[in-house]
Structure 1
Amino acid sequence: MRRVSVPRSVVAGAVTSAAAVALALGSSAPATADPPPAATTEFQVPVRHIAGCIPGLFVCISVPPLTTVTPTATTGAPGEVTFAAKPPTRTWTGLSGCLEVTVHWLNLTTGSAGTTALRPVPYDYSRPYTPDDWCRYTPATAVTGSGTIAASADIGVAGPWEYRILVTPGVGIIPVP
Structure 2
Amino acid sequence: MRRVSTPRSVAAGAVACLAVLALPLGSPAPATADPPSLTTTEFQVPVRYVAGCLSTVFTCWYLPPLTTVTPSATTDTPGRVTFTAKPPTPAYYSCLDVTVHWLNLTTGAAGTTALRRVPPDNSRRVPQDEWCRYVPSTAVTGSGTIAATADVGAVALWAYQILVTPGVGIIPVP
Q: Secondary structure at the match of 2:77?
A: coil
- Report how many residues are paired: 147
Tell me how far 1:126 sits from its aligned partner: 1.6
Instruction: Confirm whether residue 77 of structure 1 aligns to residue 77 of structure 2.
Output: yes
Cα distance in 2 for residues equivalent to 1:167 and 1:125: 31
Cα distance in 1 for residues equivalent to 2:91 and 2:134: 18
Aligned to 2:104: 107
Does the 8 Å contact 1:35/1:78 carry over to 2? no
Aligned to 1:164: 161
Identity %: 69
Aligned to 2:41: 41
- Structure 2 stretches of 5 or more lacking a match? 1-25
Which one has the largest radius of gyration?
A: 2
Moved over 4 A (4+): 28-33
Instruction: Confirm whether residue 98 of structure 1 aligns to residue 95 of structure 2.
Output: yes
Give, as a single letter, the amino acid of the residue that structure 1 aligns with 2:77.
Answer: A
Backbone CA RMSD of aligned residues = 1.8
Query: Which residue, out of 146, 153, 158, partners 2:150?
Result: 153
Q: Secondary structure at the match of 1:173?
A: strand
Tell me how far 1:103 sits from its aligned partner: 0.1
Tell me how far 1:125 sits from its aligned partner: 1.2
Cα distance in 2 for residues equivalent to 1:110 and 1:31: 34
Q: Secondary structure at the match of 1:157?
A: coil
Q: Secondary structure at the match of 1:76?
A: strand
TM-score by length of 2: 0.79
TM-score by length of 1: 0.78
Aligned to 1:139: 136
Bigger shift: residues 28-37 or 105-114: 28-37
Query: Which residue, out of 116, 119, 142, partners 2:116?
Result: 119
- Structure 1 stretches of 5 or more lacking a match? 1-27
